[in-house]
With several copies, the nearest count.
Chain A
Amino acid sequence: MTTESPMAVTETSQELALRFYEQMRKIRSFEERADELYKLRLMAGLTHLYIGEEAIAVGVCESLGRDDYITSTHRGHGHCLAKGADVERMFCELLGKEAGYCRGKGGSMHIADHENNNLGANAIVGGSAGIATGAAFSAKARGSGQVAVCFFGEGALGQGLVYEVMNLASLWTLPVVYVCENNLYNEYTHYSETTAGDIATRAAAFGIPSEEVDGQDVRAVHAAATRAVERARRGDGPSFLLCRTYRFMGHHVGDVDRTYYRSKEEEQEWRQRDPLELARRWLLEDGLADEATLDEIDRRADELVAAGSQAAIDSPYPSPDEVGKHVYA
């Protein structure tokens, strides 16, 4: 079942439509810059870029309030930005600087943004499924009306924990939305080699309604996410959102030669479904924006990212004695 309900589309106000584009564009610029920082050896370690999947983080997070919780993954920059994080503080974290969201202690794979209730990226595949479900439990117990969203890649469907907590969420009607980003690959292995049966039925097996959506179309994602979030807020329990998508770049910044696991043709085909290009097209076609407006958004995003990354480069590392702090609260 697909979710392109025209309803949802027509409901998308011009403001929101432009915001979709702006947020996606910000993520795209951020990730392109992160890739550069790696190539320039200004960023240590390996980072996982979200390029190509922007519509999911943005479509989902635009259906959330600031108080709502998200948990993220090793490929988490997009989720973090979409949930409202500041570009400069994120770059500071990627570079291990004191001013980073985690004082440089977390890095790319552990960015958390407590101000926007982003409970953190996670370097354990599926590792945040319990946290998201627990945040939903907490929201229900406190009667706060908050919703929790758990982002994960289709590879996380290999982790038993995901099924254990879906069972709990269903039993206890918890306000959580499981968002599966199926970008077709677990690292260098196609998901069809790691995932038996029909993914969509997995949540259903725990009594959780499941919806499949085109992850390249931000409107479709937003419409489906909005339904799931409203359902959760109403107290009707968890939902599962399966988003079809593709990562345009390597598994991580070091994964440059990919021909042994996927073809250039496949990559080209998906490039045709660039969420930014698609958005640009309908924004123009539906007369919600003109070229100039969109170019201006692009420019602002690039500017923001350039300034933020430069500020991060110039900002100081934590002092060595920070190493012993925050082991215990």
Chain B
Amino acid sequence: MSTPSVKEVPTSHEGMREISLAQAVNEALAEELRRDPTVFIVGEDVAEAGTAFKVMTGLVEEFGRERVIDSPISEPGITGLGLGAAMTGMRPVVDIMFGDFLTLVMDQLANQAAKIHYMSGGRLKAPLTLRTTLGATRRSAAQHSQSLHVWPAHIPGLKVVLPSTPADAKGLLKTAIRDDNPVVFFEDKMMFATKGLVPDGEYTIPFGVADVKREGEDLTLIATSSMVYVALEAAELLAGEGISAEVVDPRTLVPLDRATLAASARKTGRVIVLDEGHQSYGASAEIAAVVAEDAFFHLDAPVRRMGAMDVPIPFSPVLEDETVPTPDRVLAAALELLGKR
């Protein structure tokens, strides 16, 4: 998605600071590195470079090269190393620059990290956090624009987190690092500059609790990660048409807060699911299925899914812009769903 216009950002107030999502992630990492000596970060260009997205600026200066570690270009290797460290008393944060490179670490993630606690009868555990990115429209083409979060979400033993706001990103990342299970944490690379209010001081946000980003009566927009901003803009447009849309952000795919999603669906009777993964066999299918299962007799229309188009992400801007849900497209879908078109 394209970075949301600043208008969505509420103005600062008591006990809150306005910072970017990148800063929020940076704060979460710094705070956890400070409070727990077993936390360390390993990844490509994470130290002096502060990652390709400059999210870790300043961390190596404070925590040193023993805890903020530049690695070779070995995603499987550093994920495996992180896992072994996690199984033996550390809390690694493995940085995988682009979510597209999950393709390289699925064995260490799905066959090893996800299963070791279960396979050992609960005797070993892997408190591993894997941070990576998702999202298109950065003109990075097919191998740097995917949103592959449904892959780990399908694997029992992994938790999957998709924050949308700086405040959520900070609180959820701290929870991820403290969680005793492997957690895959996705940030939309187009959101790093997105600003939002973040509470001062120490806080965490529990997994499995969806957040209603906007209340509404006529329609529910369930949106993940940056699609939350698309949903919020669409809700504005719908308000202009006299339609009140509710925007619900699951925040974590695993665990998934079915109750909150179903409650909203029961209230409005109409649901659109927005997720930037490819639409077919994507996270939006699970969410749609769950909503249908839990709210079937309250639904006035089939749940509508809007994901990335089922094509490799093209480079050409005129083509890439066709592949992602936009506020206008959501508006059109919503009006159709409401029988207004």
Interface residues in chain A, defined as those with a beta carbon under 8 Å from any beta carbon in chain B: 44-46, 69, 71, 96-97, 100-110, 112, 114, 119-120, 122-139, 141-142, 148, 155-161, 164-165, 167-168, 171, 186-189, 193-195, 260-261, 317-318, 320, 322-329
Chain B minimum-CB-distance residue to A166: B77
Closest to A115 in B: B123
Q: Does B116 contact A (CB under 8 A)?
A: yes
Cα–Cα distance between A120 and B317 once the two chains are bound (Å): 20
- Which stretch of B8-16, B43-51, B195-203 is in the interface? B43-51
Q: Is the CB of B88 within 8 A of A123?
A: no
**CB within 8 Å of A: which residues of B?**
38, 40, 44-45, 47-49, 52, 66, 70-74, 76-90, 92, 100-101, 107-108, 111-112, 116-125, 127, 138-144, 156-157, 159, 180-181, 309-312, 314-319, 322-323
23 inter-chain pairs at a CB distance below 8 angstroms, sorted by A residue, are: A102-B119, A103-B121, A103-B122, A104-B319, A105-B120, A112-B124, A119-B84, A129-B80, A130-B108, A133-B84, A134-B83, A134-B92, A138-B84, A142-B89, A161-B76, A161-B107, A164-B77, A167-B77, A186-B72, A189-B47, A189-B49, A318-B318, A329-B117
Residues of B within 8 A of A45 (CB): 138-141, 315
**B80 engages A161 (CB within 8 Å):** yes
The reply to whether B312 and A327 contact each other, CB–CB distance below 8 Å, is yes
Q: Please, which residues of chain A bring their CB within 8 A of the CB of B83?
A: 130-131, 134
Interface of B is mostly: loop
Q: In the bound complex, do residue A329 and residue B122 qualify as a contact, i.e. CB atoms below 8 Å apart?
A: yes
Contact A168:B72 (CB < 8 A) given known A120-B120, A130-B84, A138-B84: yes
Q: How far is B119's CA from A105's CA once the two chains are assembled, in angstroms? A: 5
Known: A120-B116, A131-B112, A186-B73. A141 touches B316 (CB 8 A): no
Q: Do the beta carbons of B315 and A134 come within 8 Å of each other? A: no
CA distance A158 to B79 in the complex (A): 13
Contacts of B44 on A, CB cut-off 8 Å? 186-187, 189
CB < 8 Å neighbour of A158 from B74, B89, B116, B181 = B74
**Minimal beta-carbon separation of B2 from chain A (angstroms):** 13
List A contacts of B310 (CB < 8 A): 327
**A120 contacts across to B, CB distance below 8 A:** 116, 119-120, 124
**In the docked arrangement, what's the CA distance between A142 and B124, Å?**
18
For B323, the closest partner residue in chain A by CB is A323
Instruction: With A323-B319, A327-B311, A328-B117 as known contacts, state yes or no: A188 contacts B76, CB within 8 Å.
Output: no
Contact of A328 among B84, B92, B181 (CB under 8 A): B181
| Given contact pairs A97-B316, A112-B120, A130 touches B311 in the complex (Cβ within 8 A) | no
Starting from the known contacts A44-B317, A135-B88, A160-B77, 4 additional A-B residue pairs (CB-CB under 8 Å) come to A106-B121, A119-B84, A318-B319, A326-B118
Contact assessment for A159 and B74 in the assembled complex, using a CB-CB cutoff below 8 Å: yes
Given contacts A120-B124, A326-B117, A326-B118, contact A168 B85 (CB under 8 A): no
Contact pick for A107, options B48, B90, B127, B316, CB 8 Å:
B316
Question: When chains A and B are docked, how far (Å) is the Cα of A103 from the Cα of B312?
Answer: 14
A46, A141, A156, A325: most-surrounded residue (chain B CB, <10 A)? A141
Which of B45, B108, B311 contacts A189 (CB under 8 A)?
A: B45
Q: Find chain B residues with CB under 8 A from A138 CB.
A: 84-85, 88-90
A-B contact count (CB 8 A): 265
Residues of B within 8 A of A195 (CB): 72
Is A127's CB under 8 angstroms from B88's CB?
A: no
Inter-chain contact A96/B120, CB cutoff 8 Å: no
Q: State A227–B45 Cα separation when bound (angstroms).
A: 35
* In the complex with contacts A114-B124, A130-B108, A155-B318 CB distance below 8 A: no
Nearest opposing residue in chain B for A189, CB measure: B70
A102 — which chain B residues lie within 8 A by C-beta? Answer: 119-121, 123, 315
The answer to whether A329 touches B74, judged by C-beta atoms less than 8 angstroms apart, is: no
Q: Is the CB of A158 within 8 A of B73?
A: yes
Distance in angstroms between the alpha carbons of A108 and B142 in the assembled complex: 11
Q: Are A110 and B89 in contact (CB under 8 A)?
A: no
**Docked CA distance A39–B65 (Å):** 34
Report the minimum CB–CB distance from B134 to chain A (whole Å): 16
Closest Cβ of chain B to A171, distance in Å, is 7
- Give B122's nearest chain A residue, CB to CB: A326
Contact status A187-B52, CB under 8 Å: yes
Q: Hey, which chain B residues are within 8 Å of A161, CB to CB? A: 76-77, 80, 107-108
B157 / chain A contacts, CB cutoff of 8 Å: 327-328
The CA of A49 and the CA of B102, in the complex, are separated in Å by 26
Cα of A126 to Cα of B116 in the assembled complex, Å: 15
Bound CA–CA A100/B120 (angstroms): 10
A132's closest neighbor in chain B, by CB? B84
Ranked 5 nearest A-B pairs via Cβ: A130-B80, A134-B84, A107-B315, A96-B316, A164-B77
B74 CB to closest chain A CB (Å) equals: 4
A134 contacts B74, C-beta separation under 8 Å: no
Check if B319 sits within 8 Å of A96, measured CB to CB: yes
Contact of B315 among A106, A164, A167 (CB under 8 A): A106
Given contacts A131-B112, A168-B78, contact A141 B40 (CB under 8 A): yes
> Closest approach, in angstroms, between the C-beta of B49 and any C-beta of chain A?
4
Q: Are A109 and B143 in contact (CB under 8 A)?
A: yes
Give the Cβ gap from B141 to chain A, nearest Cβ, in Å.
5
> How many Å from the CB of B98 to the closest CB on chain A?
9
Given that A106-B141, A134-B82, A161-B77 are known contacts, is A326 also in contact with B66, CB under 8 Å in the complex? no
B141 A168 Cβ-Cβ under 8 A: no
Please report the C-alpha to C-alpha distance between residue A108 and residue B88 in the assembled complex, in whole angstroms.
22
Contact call B143/A96, Cβ cutoff below 8 A: no
**Chain B residues near A139 (CB-CB < 8 A):** 88
Whether the pair A320, B318 counts as a contact (CB closer than 8 A) is yes
Kindly provide the distance from the CB of B5 to the nearest chain A CB, expressed in whole angstroms.
Answer: 20
**Which partner residue on chain B sits nearest A43 by CB separation?**
B139
